[in-house]
């Protein structure tokens, strides 16, 4: 029996790619297994955003080689790190049968075929006009990612994405709408539109379309109840988008808008193309226009040259904006980027100290926000049961907060339930079903 197991690192885009990889393996007669030791083919879908990504992939393969012992088990490497690895890794490890970069995924079926005939395949070519995945076979579910564009033209000085995912390319709107209708027919209720720079959607297309217009088109699809989108770049987040969000009842009251630093000096060094003032003005407009909107963000601490004053500006920004949550990371250089040429002069312990100060600050803010929901009702799209307790249902509200709740009524996945919040916890809400 041919079985496969996929290990996925990184962002939503990688999770989406893994769903695509899984569909291709199934199409080629493989059965998915949740236990790595039962797999005859192991796929590692890699991410290069974190530190030492390549060496981690090498050690993961070495670990797998020890674990699998069976020389018939094959390994495939996909994703951003694969783009860099090429033949080095194929030559080094016998079990590695293919390396496919982010751009070669749509050729995976052919690659699998070649591997089954004894070839070892390296496919790390960029294919300018091909959208890697397109519509593919999915399992039924509640909430789906749909990639609407790939690549990025922004070249933030610290980021490897434009090098491993290439330039921005948008998918044709009718193809995406077709995919969303297919997901709707499978029972999906919520769609998250994905792109490294999702709100610059449409710029390379012949038809006259932009992200707000496309959002309105998705909003008109019957049967889809909720629409989300990630990740927006602050420079492309404009009034047209805010007013479209307001007009489209299915678009959730949640925006992920990475600020990265509260210091204009650091933002400039990061090549982010906005100032803190420009950013906060957009946030004020957003909060004024859309009731109860949740804003979340990403931050990098310890960027080269970040002084304590710069870092304090970041802390002040977090206090001023009152994010629902943030994702914060210590800076580490990505070889090949502009920032990697600057002396990484902040000591690791100091980076850790700043990171934990920022995370502690945000934890208190998140807790306060969660507490403020106590006694209120919120609409929850049910995803399933809580991981810790099978008698408790779990879902998300429109602000993307995790809500666990009890219900005396039998409720199905995909239902939108009105839940009264009994308790705001550190990272989630707890409540009871009322309707
Ligand atoms: S916008 Fe900047 S951080 Fe985001 S993917 Fe593009 S280059 Fe990277």
| Ligand 1 and 152: CB distance under 6 A | yes
Phi, psi (5° rounding) for residue 75?
-125, 140
Amino acid 152: pLDDT: 92
Q: Tokens 């839940």 — which residue? A: 419
Contact 10, 47 (CB under 8 A): yes
- Domains of the chain, by residue range, sit at 3-123, 143-372, 377-433
Contact 329, 300 (CB under 8 A): yes
Instruction: Count, in order, helices (H) and strands (E) of the chain.
Output: 13, 19
How is domain 377-433 classified at the CATH fold level? OB fold (Dihydrolipoamide Acetyltransferase, E2P) (2.40.50)
- Based on the number of CB atoms within 10 Å of its own CB, is 93 exposed (0-12), middle (13-18) or buried (19 or more)? middle
Mutate to test the pocket of ligand 1, among 11, 159, 271 (most ligand atoms within 8 A of CB): 159
How is domain 3-123 classified at the CATH fold level? Rossmann fold (3.40.50)
- Nearest atom of ligand 1 to the alpha carbon of 165: 5
Amino acid 69: pLDDT: 66
Amino acid 82: pLDDT: 83
Closest alpha carbon to 196 in 242, 170, 231, 148: 231
CA of 346 to the centre of ligand 1 (A): 22
pLDDT (average), residues 37-52: 84
d(CA 3, CA 1): 6
Residues 6+ apart with CB under 8 A from 186: 138, 140, 141
CA of 152 to the centre of ligand 1 (A): 6
Contact 382, 143 (CB under 8 A): no
Closest alpha carbon to 42 in 8, 74, 20, 80: 74
CA of 373 to the centre of ligand 1 (A): 33
Mutate to test the pocket of ligand 1, among 11, 156, 231 (most ligand atoms within 8 A of CB): 156
pLDDT digits (tens, 9 = 90+) for 135-178: 788 989 999 999 999 889 999 999 988 888 888 989 999 999 99
pLDDT (average), residues 31-56: 84
CA of 385 to the centre of ligand 1 (A): 35
Phi, psi (5° rounding) for residue 54?
-70, -45
CA of 232 to the centre of ligand 1 (A): 10
| Ligand 1 and 154: CB distance under 6 A | yes
- Based on the number of CB atoms within 10 Å of its own CB, is 82 exposed (0-12), middle (13-18) or buried (19 or more)? buried
CA of 156 to the centre of ligand 1 (A): 5
Task: Out of 11-15, 239-243, 291-295, 315-319, pick the least confident.
Answer: 11-15
**196 to each of 24, 151, 226, 313, 414, how far by Cα in Å?**
24, 6, 20, 26, 27
Read off the DSSP letter of residue 167: S
319 by DSSP, 3-state: which? helix
d(CA 364, CA 362): 5
The reply to whether the predicted model has a pTM over 0.75 is: yes
Nearest CA to ligand 1 atom 2: 156
Mean residue pLDDT of the chain comes to: 92
Q: How confident is the model at residue 70 (pLDDT cuts 50, 70, 90)?
A: low
| Ligand 1 and 156: CB distance under 6 A | yes
- Nearest atom of ligand 1 to the alpha carbon of 260: 3
d(CA 363, CA 378): 21
- pLDDT over 70 at 131, yes or no: no
pLDDT (average), residues 39-58: 81
Closest alpha carbon to 125 in 143, 153, 146, 106: 106
Q: Tokens 């007013």 — which residue? A: 243
CA of 151 to the centre of ligand 1 (A): 9
CA of 157 to the centre of ligand 1 (A): 9
Query: How many of the other CB atoms lie within 10 Å of CB of 287?
Result: 16
CA of 161 to the centre of ligand 1 (A): 6
pLDDT digits (tens, 9 = 90+) for 335-360: 889 999 999 999 999 999 999 999 99
| Ligand 1 and 197: CB distance under 6 A | yes
Mutate to test the pocket of ligand 1, among 13, 147, 162, 168 (most ligand atoms within 8 A of CB): 162
Amino acid 283: pLDDT: 98
Residues 6+ apart with CB under 8 A from 135: 175, 178, 179, 182
Mutate to test the pocket of ligand 1, among 14, 80, 147, 196 (most ligand atoms within 8 A of CB): 196
| Ligand 1 and 161: CB distance under 6 A | yes
Contact 108, 21 (CB under 8 A): yes
pLDDT digits (tens, 9 = 90+) for 203-240: 989 889 999 999 999 999 999 999 999 999 999 999 99
Closest alpha carbon to 337 in 167, 169, 161: 161
Asked if the 143-372 domain carries CATH number 2.70.160.11, the reply is no
Q: How confident is the model at residue 128 (pLDDT cuts 50, 70, 90)?
A: low
- pLDDT over 70 at 127, yes or no: no
Contact 263, 306 (CB under 8 A): yes
- pLDDT over 80 at 71, yes or no: no
422 by DSSP, 3-state: which? strand
């Amino acid at each position: 029996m041919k079985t496969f197991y996929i290990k996925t690192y990184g962002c939503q885009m990688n999770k989406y790619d893994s769903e695509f990889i899984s569909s291709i393996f199934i199409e080629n007669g493989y059965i998915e297994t949740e236990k790595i030791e039962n797999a005859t083919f192991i796929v590692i879908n890699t991410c290069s955003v974190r530190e030492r990504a390549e060496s981690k992939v090498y050690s993961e393969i070495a670990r797998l080689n020890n674990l699998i012992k069976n020389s018939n088990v094959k390994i495939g490497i996909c994703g951003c790190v694969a783009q860099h690895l090429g033949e080095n890794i194929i030559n080094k490890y016998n079990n590695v049968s293919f390396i496919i970069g982010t751009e070669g995924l749509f050729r995976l079926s052919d690659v699998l075929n070649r591997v089954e005939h004894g070839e070892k395949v390296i496919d790390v070519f960029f294919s300018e006009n091909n959208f890697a995945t397109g519509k593919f076979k999915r399992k039924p579910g509640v909430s789906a990612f749909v990639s609407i564009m790939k690549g990025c033209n922004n070249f933030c000085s610290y980021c490897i994405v434009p090098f491993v995912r290439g330039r921005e390319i948008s998918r044709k709107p009718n193809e995406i709408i077709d995919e969303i209708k297919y997901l709707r027919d499978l029972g999906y209720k919520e769609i998250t539109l994905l792109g490294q720079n999702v709100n610059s959607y449409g710029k390379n297309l012949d038809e006259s379309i932009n992200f707000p217009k496309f959002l309105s088109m998705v909003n008109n699809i019957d049967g889809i109840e909720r629409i989300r989108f990630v990740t927006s770049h602050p420079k492309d987040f404009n009034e047209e988008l805010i007013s479209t969000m307001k007009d489209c009842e299915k678009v959730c009251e949640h925006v992920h808008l990475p600020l990265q630093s509260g210091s204009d000096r650091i933002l400039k060094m990061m090549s982010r193309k906005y100032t803190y003032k420009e950013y906060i003005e957009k946030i004020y407009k957003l909060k004024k226009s859309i009731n109860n909107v949740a804003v979340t963000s990403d931050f990098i601490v310890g960027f080269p040259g970040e002084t304590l004053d710069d870092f304090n500006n970041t802390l002040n920004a977090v206090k001023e904006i009152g994010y629902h949550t943030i994702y914060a990371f210590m800076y580490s250089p990505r070889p090949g980027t502009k920032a990697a040429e600057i002396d990484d002069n902040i000591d690791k312990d100091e980076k850790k100290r700043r990171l934990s100060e920022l995370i502690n600050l945000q934890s208190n803010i998140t807790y306060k926000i969660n507490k403020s929901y106590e006694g209120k009702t919120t609409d929850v799209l049910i995803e399933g049961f809580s991981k810790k307790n099978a008698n408790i249902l779990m879902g998300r509200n429109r602000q993307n907060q995790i809500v666990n709740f009890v219900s005396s009524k039998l409720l199905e996945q995909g239902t939108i339930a009105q839940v009264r919040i009994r308790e705001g916890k550190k990272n989630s809400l707890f409540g009871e079903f009322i309707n």
